[in-house]
Amino acid sequence: MQTTFIMIKPDGVQRGLVANIIGRFETKGLRLVGLRQLTPSMELAETHYAVHKERPFYGGLIEFITSGPVVAMAWTGVDAISVARNIIGPTDGRVAAPGTIRGDLAMDIGHNVIHGSDGEDTAKFELGLWFPDGLVDWARDAERHIYE
C-alpha cells in the first residue's frame, strides 16, 4: 500500500467540486485516511511550493493557493500515487483527457482544480507538511473486493 497527498485548490472549492472529486477517488478504490479544509498560510504555501521558487509563476501560485480554502487529503491504496495521477490528468486542463478530473473540470493551467504528489519522496514530504498530527489508520472491509 502507498499513500499520496491530494489537494483540491481554491478554484475547486469555490466551484463546489469537492464531493465530485472525492467521489472519483473513492469509486476507484482508494481509501481516504486524511482530510482537512483550511486556508493555507503564506508559510505553508511557500514551503509546499518551494521547488518552484525560481519559476516565473511562483508569486502568482502562492497568491492563488492562499486566496481561499483548500481541501487537503491523504489517500491510500496499491500504487496510490500513479493511480491518483491518472485520475487527475496532466497539469493543463485544456489538453487533459476527458474522464480525468482536469479534463472534465479545468480550463486553465494555473487554475487547474487539484494538486497531487508526483512521487514517493514528494508524497512523504507533503503528507508530513499538511498532516503533522498523522493520518487515520483504518481498514475498509470492501478492500478484499478491490484487490487480489
How far apart are the C-alpha atoms of 48 and 41, rounded to whole Å? 11
Residues 6+ apart with CB under 8 A from 106: 93, 94, 96, 112, 113, 114
Residues 6+ apart with CB under 8 A from 132: none
Residue 115 designated active-site: yes
How far apart are the C-alpha atoms of 127 and 117, rounded to whole Å? 9
Catalytic annotation, pick one of 48, 52, 111, 115? 115
Q: Is 13 left (phi over 0), alpha (psi -120 to 50) or beta?
A: alpha
Give catalytic residues, as residue numbers: 115
